[in-house]
Amino acid sequence: MRSKIVAGNWKMNKTAGQTNALLAELSAKLPDTRAEVMVAPVFVNLTQAVGQLGGSKIEVVAQNMHFADNGAYTGEVAADMLLDIGIKTVILGHSERRAYFGEDDALLAKKVQQALAKQMRVIFCFGEELADRKAGNHFNVVESQLKNALFALPADAWKQIVLAYEPVWAIGTGETASPEQAQEMHAFIRQLIAGGYGDALAQNVSILYGGSVKPGNAAEIFSKPDVDGGLIGGASLVADDFIGIIKGIG
């Protein structure tokens, strides 16, 4: 189901105490919104976050997971472990996972399959680097990232997929894609899905934008017809900023 979503990817930030404080402030200040609101703290703070937010509108999601059920994968976390503590949604394919931890399309396809097999929802991230955009290659890069990881899925699986277009050059740089650039790419992505699966399915997929979304630019980006919300990094670490962005979606 296509829905509006604002998700905060906290990345490797916030201790347990800081997590508690930020969630308390977010809960107290959360405005009425049509959007689904999510936060993704680090693994070790997920259990406490789920406990703290029980009954709240804010969903706690994970930043990553492994493709295997369990086993000798030191330092990794499996889907069942997330489900067991009440996590139903996982972010996969973030550009930082791709760049710093060698995650490629083939690995991500396995992770996506595992998440779907476990009935989890996936926020699948992808996006071109600056050099790709400068070379005019950004549509090709995005097309291959999506096709390699997701286009072997059966149509039914797309109910569990949320896409997050995050141009790498806009992440943490303060340089956001313009609303027009975001819309152009999101429309392209929806067309790709329509080409593979038909227009009705494509119209039902939520496509989020991520990359230097702030309270000051959120409303304009979110006003674009193919932008269904945002995946927020830095600004999700400050309650008033994240709240300001949620207000931007209405």
| Identity of the residue, 206 or 212, whose beta carbon is nearer to ligand 13P in the bound complex | 212
Task: Sketch the per residue contact string, 186 through 225, with ligand 13P: x for CB under 6 A, - otherwise.
Answer: ------------------------xxxx------------
User: Which of the stretches 31-39, 137-145, 195-203, 230-238 binds ligand 13P when contact is defined by CB under 6 A?
Assistant: 230-238
| Identity of the residue, 86 or 215, whose beta carbon is nearer to ligand 13P in the bound complex | 215
For the chain, how many helices (H) and strands (E)?
Answer: 11, 8
Q: How many residues contact ligand 13P, by CB under 6 A?
A: 14
Rule CB under 6 A: say whether 41 interacts with ligand 13P: no
| Identity of the residue, 12 or 200, whose beta carbon is nearer to ligand 13P in the bound complex | 12
**Residue 166 annotated among the catalytic residues of the structure:** yes
Q: Are 116 and 88 in contact (CB under 8 A)?
A: no
Q: Are 165 and 208 in contact (CB under 8 A)?
A: yes
Backbone angles phi, psi at 38, to 5 degrees: -135, 150
Query: Which residue sits closest to ligand 13P, CB atoms considered?
Result: 233
Q: Is 76 helix (H, G, I), strand (E, B) or coil?
A: coil
Among 41, 93, 229, 234, binds ligand 13P (CB under 6 A): 234
Q: Are 59 and 46 in contact (CB under 8 A)?
A: no
Rule CB under 6 A: say whether 166 interacts with ligand 13P: yes
66, 94, 138, 186: the catalytic one is: 94
The CA distance from 4 to 229, in Å, is 5
**Residue 186 annotated among the catalytic residues of the structure:** no
The CA distance from 63 to 43, in Å, is 8
Which residue is associated with the tokens 């689904």?
A: 36
The CA distance from 179 to 237, in Å, is 23
Four-residue CA torsion sign, 156, 95, 191, 214: positive
Smallest distance from ligand 13P to CB 171, Å: 4
| Identity of the residue, 192 or 234, whose beta carbon is nearer to ligand 13P in the bound complex | 234
Active-site positions? 94, 166
Residues at the contact surface with ligand 13P, assessed by CB under 6 A: 9, 94, 166, 171-172, 210-213, 231-235
